[in-house]
Amino acid sequence: MDGVKFLLDLSVLLLGAKVFGLLAKRIGVPEVVGQIVAGLVFGPALLGFIQETEFLEQMAEIGVMMIMFEAGLNTDLKEMRRTGVKAAGIALVGVIVPMIMGAAVYLLFYGIGSSDGDVILRGLFIGTIISATSVSITVAALQELGRLNDTVGTAITGAAIIDDVIGIVALTVVISMKGGNGASGIGSVLLKVVLFFVLAIGSGVVINKGMHFLDERFPHTRRIPIASLCYCFLLGYVAETYFGIADITGAYLAGVVLCNLSDRDYINEKVSISSYMVFAPLFFTGIGLKTSFSTVNARLLIFSILFTAVALAAKVIGCGGCAWLMGFKRKDALKIGIGMMSRGEVALITAQKGLAAGLLDADFFTSVILLIVISSIVTPILLKRVYQN
Amino acid sequence: MDGVKFLLDLSVLLLGAKVFGLLAKRIGVPEVVGQIVAGLVFGPALLGFIQETEFLEQMAEIGVMMIMFEAGLNTDLKEMRRTGVKAAGIALVGVIVPMIMGAAVYLLFYGIGSSDGDVILRGLFIGTIISATSVSITVAALQELGRLNDTVGTAITGAAIIDDVIGIVALTVVISMKGGNGASGIGSVLLKVVLFFVLAIGSGVVINKGMHFLDERFPHTRRIPIASLCYCFLLGYVAETYFGIADITGAYLAGVVLCNLSDRDYINEKVSISSYMVFAPLFFTGIGLKTSFSTVNARLLIFSILFTAVALAAKVIGCGGCAWLMGFKRKDALKIGIGMMSRGEVALITAQKGLAAGLLDADFFTSVILLIVISSIVTPILLKRVYQN
């Protein structure tokens, strides 16, 4: 053991998250916003008291997986079937609109007079970055509001999951346009996506049967939630490692697989306590910890602000507009559009891949992080407001 | 994020720990033994499927701190006051006897005909290694038996905590005998120990008052267990970083400080669920993961077996004998002796310090790990047996 600094990190972040979360609630803002602010305050952005470590990142990852697993676990299957097609439509339009708007703002800013032949591709890549919703923040906010499982909540969660898959395809398309080996790359990604869902559904049927059996024989025993959580971790691992699909998508699907167990609430309780005692606050503070304001120049700052505004507006226009066209009430469509605004680690991962492919300058990381932090703070606040009016 | 291999590790270890734990229970052996065996099976000792990582070590550390925090939280203060003096006596004799017996077995094995002038000191150091009880395994086993808080359980926990402090002093004495700057080193260690307890008790009074206030105003809210857990992590961090006292001692004391809160059971429930869902199994499997049988030769193996046998016997003789002399019934004295047998990470840390001071060969690490694994498996089994007869 090198040292026990991580114990200090844990106690500061967990206590800080709780205190700032309670303060946020006091002023009528969702608790998760306070937790993100706690990360900003103790992290490099402000006090510099705590640096992000691999340990904290891994704890945060467990936290977001638990949040998504719980969301899956609380799925109302009937509601999901009812909203499934609409969710797919919302997801698709919610990817296309941000791609176009992102590319447009990039070209407006860096494209005019550029001699770079790849400039349109670079623009499309910027669009791809902002096309992937990270729904975990929205899920947590909806949970706080008690509105995760109604029609709107289910549509948002469903659309965000599908949007993740479409985003992966879009990413591959753009990168293969740069690389040249287009068709085969896209084909293999599509194949992987299909294979993953076949595997997830196939194994899901077996796991569901097995867990039903276990649950009937040993109801309310520790083995039930422990086995469930292990399944969540495993499916997340398999999704990310072998199929290039985000681990949180695997975690969510694991929850859906188990959502009709009779001990569902028992599992949910145990996972939820582990989550709010340690892991989930580390996910939210982790968003704040990632932020620092060191490498910002004026032009980049202006671009970042515009980029963030466009990224947020694009989801409201794309997802909200599509939902409205598909028959949702205007107010519900607005809720969906706002719920899909939040971005997270998927945007960062996409940006990293763009860097590796030579489609993105490292400077733009600042813009992406700014987008993540601002959308993570703004989404729950706006969401609470539209639900309360 | 480098990868999500840690998710695979988690799911294998948590599921493995549960399955092996249940199998152990089936054959009448405490569940924690099964969990250790799961670590042996999946770790380098057998299948080699999972390697220890820094992440797993840190998770395990949180696990053992939660176990000790719970033990402190469940302290019966009256019982503790009643058994305090006896516990101190048991601890003292329980350090002296293993030191002498450990030195004797080393001298018998490596001392005869040795030209090494330090040989007696080296022997004493081997004795020091086996002088420190790691009570976490015993605490978990007593918890499983529902006997943590009676007179015997309190005596064991109390003695193990005091024994940790005496062990630190002994370690410093032996190392300073080698180094030369004897008196000042010992003086500063004693000062640190005193200062730590002054600080722990002083801050404990304030924290206790503050938490009572919080508890009365906001009973049964999440902030109570979260703040408590943060205090546990913080005191553990301070103990280890600034005072050279094991973090688990700090965690235990944090529990004692909070043991008379009216929400004590509420705190205990939340921490206990977080502990058994994720952290505690990683501590127990971690013991198994540390083991591999690569660098063993015949002489070392024989020494290791003898060393382990002596280490176990020395605690039964020292602690059990002392308890008996102090008026415990013969059977209770045996329980205490057996309960103090278990060794853990403190022995490893001591061994590491000896390596740095040139008082120990790296080969002996194998002996120390063997002692830890065997004592961790044997102690709960014997404990269950003496409690059931």
Residue A78 is predicted with a pLDDT of 82
The separation between the first and the last C-alpha atoms of chain B, rounded to the nearest angstrom, is 53
Q: Where is pLDDT greater, at A114 or A329?
A: A329
Looking at the partner chain, which of A14, A55, A276 has a beta carbon nearest the beta carbon of B230? A14
Mean pLDDT of B229-255: 91
Rounded Cα distance, B184 and B193, in Å: 14
Reported pTM: 0.86
Does the beta-carbon distance from B54 to A54 stay under 8 Å? yes
Rounded Cα distance, B118 and B100, in Å: 16
Looking at the partner chain, which of A225, A231, A273 has a beta carbon nearest the beta carbon of B270? A273
Q: Is the pLDDT of residue A74 over 90?
A: no
* Distant-in-sequence, close-in-space partners of A369: CB < 8 Å, separation ≥ 6: A290, A291, A348
Residue B181 is predicted with a pLDDT of 52
- A-chain residues near B4 (CB < 8 A): 61, 236-237, 240-241, 247
| Percent of chain B surpassing pLDDT 90 | 47
C-alpha pair distances (Å), A92 with each of A99, A131, A274, B200: 11, 10, 35, 58
Residue A12 is predicted with a pLDDT of 97
Residue linked to tokens 């294979």: A195
Residue linked to tokens 């520790």: A222
Residue B51 zone, left/alpha/beta (φ > 0; ψ -120 to 50; rest): beta
Does the beta-carbon distance from A278 to B3 stay under 8 Å? no
Residue A185 is predicted with a pLDDT of 66
C-alpha pair distances (Å), A275 with each of A20, A115, B130, B270: 18, 51, 38, 11
Q: What is the pLDDT of residues B128-146, one digit of tens each?
A: 999 988 888 888 888 888 8
Q: What is the pLDDT of residues B116-131, one digit of tens each?
A: 667 888 888 899 999 9
- pLDDT confidence band for B1 (50 / 70 / 90): very low
Rounded Cα distance, A373 and A371, in Å: 6
Domains in chain B with CATH codes: 64-111+119-277+297-355 (1.20.1530.20)
Q: What is the pLDDT of residues A327-382, one digit of tens each?
A: 999 999 999 999 999 988 778 778 877 877 788 887 787 788 888 889 989 999 99
Q: Is the pLDDT of residue A31 over 50?
A: yes
Rounded Cα distance, B104 and B176, in Å: 21
Ramachandran angles phi, psi of A8, nearest 5°: -65, -45
* Distant-in-sequence, close-in-space partners of A40: CB < 8 Å, separation ≥ 6: A46, A288, A289, A291, A373
Interface predicted TM-score (ipTM): 0.85
Does the beta-carbon distance from B226 to A1 stay under 8 Å? no
Q: Is the pLDDT of residue B56 over 90?
A: yes
Does the beta-carbon distance from B2 to A54 stay under 8 Å? yes
Helix, strand counts (H, E) of chain B: 17, 0
Q: Is the pLDDT of residue A166 over 60?
A: yes
- B-chain residues near A57 (CB < 8 A): 1
Q: How far is B326 from chain A (nearest CA, A)?
A: 38
Number of Cβ within 10 Å of residue B161's Cβ equals 24
Residue A315 is predicted with a pLDDT of 94
Residue A163 is predicted with a pLDDT of 84
Lowest-pLDDT range of A95-99, A299-303, B152-156:
A299-303
Residue A328 is predicted with a pLDDT of 93
Q: What is the pLDDT of residues A191-240, one digit of tens each?
A: 888 899 899 999 999 999 999 999 999 989 999 999 999 999 999 999 98
| Contact of B134 with B347, CB cutoff 8 Å | yes
- pLDDT confidence band for B179 (50 / 70 / 90): low
